[in-house]
Structure 1
Amino acid sequence: MAQPHIQLDGLLAFPLTPFTRELGLDLEAFAETVERHVAAGAGALFIACGTGEFSALTADEQAALLRRAREVVAGRVPVWVGAGGGAATARAGIAAAQEGNADGVLLLPPYLVSGPPSGLVDHVRHAVNDSTVPVVVYHRSNGAFTPRSAVKLLDIPSVVGLKDGVGDVELMTRIVTSIRSSESPRAEDFLFFNGLPTAEVSARAYKAIGVARYSSAVHCFAPEIAMRFHGALAAGDDKVVDALLSGFYLPLVALRDETPGFAVSLVKTGARLRGDRVGGVRPPLVEPTAEQTGRLEKIVKGGYALLAALDGAVDGEFDGAAAAGRDGTGR
């Protein structure tokens, strides 16, 4: 089987999954969410993945989200969907993605159990089975690969890439180099992604090792900031990158790290502050406190103040700390 040609350019968006007050699936609000991402310039959508609360969804809900996303997108950008869990669940998820005409699948780590590197490759092979839908494997948690086992993924034709959620740049350098220098005819076109939470903070380091693609949760609630950062990084505009990191992203990460699960629930809160209908989060995730929500609002306002200041900068000179406030929140 020949490797499918995959076009995943631009900023990769991971839409939230909106819920009703009773935490049921809200497909109409989801349609609005999908349209906002496309209109804001997302290069591809990855639905029902980490930011979309994959672990909290049923298989029927995932299928419904995929159908609705494809209806709304209507071919304008690729639509990928999450799959994962135990061996049988992951296999069924990939099969359902192919049946639902997804453009690709992000395969999340196995559920609970761990195995040796060879077993992890076998897990991917079992999950893929005889499907032909392109698959990107999520390298994280109990699904972390060694360089040698990562090279073995090249033997599975529909596996087209690896997304890093471990955050070890040295390990990822060895994985990228091992795959690129292998004798496989697929090595040159194999895709790599930075999938760390708030990936912008590590994006420059990952770009330096050949991993330029990344997913942006910020695109869910501050797409203008996310797109401006992505463009500046691609252009090598360090002044803008540094300004947005210091004035927006680093304060955001400091708040995100206060509570487990805020990589999702804080993003949903940001979307609600923007006026989006996304509802709450399903447990075990928890909502930010009123005080944390207030700080998030100040951080976002500071981020947009930075954009306004960048638009008015003269000859590339810009003092991000002065524009955003010395604490980076606009205060």
Structure 2
Amino acid sequence: MNITLGKPIWKASLMPLRGLLSFPLTAFDARLELDLDAFADHLEAQIAAGPGAVFVACGTGEFGSLSLDELSAVARRAVDVAAGRLPVWLGAGGGAAGARACVRVAAERGADGVLLMPPYLVTGPPAGTLDYVRYATADAAVPTVVYHRGTAVFTPSAAVELLDVPSVVGLKDGYGDVELMSKIVTTVRTSGHDRAAGFGFLNGLPTAEMSARAYRAIGVELYSSAVHSFAPTIAHAFRDALLADQTSTVDRLLAEFYLPLVALRDTTPGFAVALVKAAAVLRGSKVGGVRPPLVDPTPAQVDQLAVLLEKGLALV
């Protein structure tokens, strides 16, 4: 199938993202209805902590549980709160038509970019995955980072073809195969394409700090930090130590905070989001609980989380 791209309103030639990337939580009230005021308070605290950009209503922001109207409302409030202080990116995905609608919402609400998540449920061959990206971003007026994970895993040759999609500026890895990602980075960088040097790569694995050193070694410097959503001082301290090659500090934070956090995260499916939200609540945020099928931590797990959080904050 050949997707004909319309004339792009915006043409990407350079990855615009820098610094530590924040993925704010979407706030719900006690009835699990969208709470935009609590979301705005949480987002303001995230912005005050100094990330390079905020990605709202993405994986950590429970994109999969939101209606299109809710996505639009979150985007509008996020752009209003940010007020031009830093870039605001919006989640997009689902079926092909749904993803295209999300991209349209991002442009209409004034977002600075889109994270395009994998198609819902179905998996196609590499050519079909590329057509999904082309279809979703046809006529896109904002830059797009494509999420490499789940039902949208790219081969090195398919990743090179992304360079011909006008709005696509980067690839975010949530698949976790370092060898494959190294092949993708090398193949893109040496492709000779006129956009290859400016194409961006992001580490989007859960608790990305655990893999940050390995990904940095293959040329993937940018990463999203879920920890930033509840303890930005820890997230920034880790990144500062990583960039300064302060191995002992990185090792201490990994051993005494991140490794125990991941162990707790791995006890329950969906805790890559639910545990982050519970930690934010412990820190005073009013973001509420998670929508099903995710489940909130038990009181005993929250107690464990509180101990870990206190230890992590003491380290920095």
TM range (shorter): over 0.9
Aligned pair partner of 1:129 in 115, 138, 147: 138
Q: Does 1:186 align with 2:201?
A: no
2:108 counterpart of 1:73? no
Which of 32, 54, 65 is equivalent to 1:23?
32
Amino acid at match of 1:276: S
Residue 199 (str. 1) matches residue 199 (str. 2): no
- The residue aligned with 2:4 is none
Matched, 1:142 2:151: yes
1:173 deviates by 0.1
CA distance in 1, matches of 2:235, 2:315: 12
Give the secondary-structure state (helix, strand or coil) at the position aligned to 2:50.
coil
Aligned counterparts of 1:280 and 1:295: Cα–Cα separation in 2: 17
Taking the TM superposition and a 5 Å limit, the aligned residue runs for 1:160-309 are: 160-307=169-316
The one-letter amino acid paired with 1:279 is: G
The Cα shift of 1:5 comes to: 4.0
Partner of 1:144, secondary structure, is: coil
1:59 equivalent to 2:68? Answer yes
- Deviation of 1:102 after TM superposition, in Å, equals 0.9
**CA shift at 1:304, angstroms?**
1.4
Contact 1:4 1:134 in 2 (8 A): no
Q: CA deviation at 1:6?
A: 3.9
What is the rounded CA distance, in whole Å, between the counterparts of 1:305 and 1:213 in structure 2?
Answer: 26
Instruction: Give the aligned partner of residue 118 of structure 1.
Output: 127
Q: Distance in 2 between matches of 1:173 and 1:7?
A: 21
Partner of 1:159: 168
Q: Is the 8 A contact 1:84 1:107 kept in 2?
A: yes
Distance 1:22 1:33, change over 3 A: same
CA distance in 2, matches of 1:130, 1:111: 22
Looking at structure 2, the residues matched to 156 and 207 of structure 1 have their Cα atoms a distance apart, in angstroms, of: 26
| 8 A contact 2:15–2:170 mirrored in 1 | no
Q: 3-state DSSP class of the match of 1:143? A: coil
Give the Cα separation in 1 of the matches to 2:151 and 2:143. 22
Higher relative contact order (CA 8 A, sep 6+): 2
Dislocated runs of 4+, deviation >2 Å? 1-7
| In structure 2, C-alpha distance between the alignment counterparts of 1:27 and 1:49, rounded to whole Å | 16
**1:118 & 1:261 partners in 2: Cα distance?**
30
CA shift, 1:157, in A, is 1.0
- Which whole-Å deviations, capped at 9, do the CAs of 1:279-316 have from their partners, x for residues lacking one? 11100000111111111111111111212xxxxxxxxx
| TM-score when normalising by structure 2 | 0.96
What amino acid sits opposite 1:295 in the alignment? Q
Question: 1:7: Cα distance to partner?
Answer: 2.6
Per-residue CA shift, 1:223-263, capped at 9, x if unaligned? 11001001111111111111100010000000000000000
Residues 79 and 109, structure 2, Cα contact 8 Å, conserved in 1: no
8 Å contact from structure 2 (residues 14, 195) kept in 1: no
Deviation sequence 1:85-104 (CA, Å, 0-9, x none): 11110111111111111100
Distance 1:274 1:281 in 2: 16
Cα distance in structure 2, aligned partners of 1:22 and 1:78:
31
User: Is 1:11 equivalent to 2:9 in the alignment?
Assistant: no
Q: Deviations over 1:69-115 (max 9, x none)?
A: 11111111100000001111011111111111110000000001110
Please give the TM-score of this superposition, normalised by the length of structure 1: 0.91
Q: What is the total number of aligned residue pairs between the two structures?
A: 307
Q: Distance in 2 between matches of 1:231 and 1:10?
A: 10
Q: Does 1:85 align with 2:91?
A: no
SS of structure 1 residue aligned to 2:312: helix
* 1:286 partner SS: coil
2:50 aligned to which of 41, 62, 82 = 41
How far apart in 1 are the matches of 2:126 and 2:297? 37
1:227 maps to amino acid: H
Q: Once structures 1 and 2 are overlaid, which stretch shifts more, 234-243 or 136-145?
A: 234-243
* Offset at residue 3 of structure 1 (A): 2.2
Partner Cα distance (2:166, 2:265) in 1: 37
Equivalent-residue separation in structure 2 for 1:156 and 1:263 (angstroms): 31
Equivalent-residue separation in structure 1 for 2:22 and 2:259 (angstroms): 20
Task: Tell me how far apart the structure 2 counterparts of residues 101 and 220 of structure 1 sit (CA, whole Å).
Answer: 23
1:163 aligned partner, one-letter code: K
